[in-house]
Amino acid sequence: MLDLACGSGRHSRLLAEKNHPVLAVDRNSLALAGLAGVKGIETRLLELEGEDWSLAGETFAGIVVTNYLWRPRFADLLALLAPGGVLIYETFAAGNETVGRPARPDFLLRPGELLQACADLHTVAYENGFLDTPERFVLRIVAVRKRPSADALPARFALDAAG
């Protein structure tokens, strides 16, 4: 599992408690220090918004992102999701500027934007709305990367009728 922009690691800890090995990634070394030595969690200090995307080529059975948005890397993030892998993404939505921070459009998803970005995935759940405690507007999605169908596999992987 990848917990991107993990902060203090609340989700990393929950996933590790459920016996999922986790890579917790953040640009804040102090936040990552709090996860040092936690069984099942590997930490990695990364500048998530720089030109270098050091996660390229890795794959994860699941990706969790909460309260973080960097549009230029969204396609790169989705490319990390293995076939059958699950994406859980929640962040602030347009409208949040009326109740607090973040308020800049750069950090607020527009209606339908998350669904469009995940169009190649199978959407399991989606929510666009207002939450009371604390007051905030959010967009959430749970989506699964489709596994390739048998006819999409190269011939060397396909089974013939004889088995």
Do residues 101 and 118 make contact, with C-beta atoms less than 8 angstroms apart?
A: no
Q: Report pLDDT digits (tens) over 38-52.
A: 999 999 999 989 888
Do residues 85 and 51 make contact, with C-beta atoms less than 8 angstroms apart?
A: no
> In this structure, what token pair is assigned to residue 70?
């960097």
Do residues 43 and 58 make contact, with C-beta atoms less than 8 angstroms apart?
A: no
Q: Report pLDDT digits (tens) over 54-112.
A: 999 999 999 999 999 999 999 999 999 999 999 999 999 988 899 989 899 888 999 99
Q: What are phi and psi of 17, to 5 degrees?
A: -60, -25
Domain boundaries along the sequence of the chain: 68-80+92-163
Local structure of residue 37 (DSSP, 8 states)? T
> In this structure, what token pair is assigned to residue 47?
């500048």
Which contiguous run of DSSP H or E holds residue 122? strand 121-131
Q: What is the pTM of this model?
A: 0.86
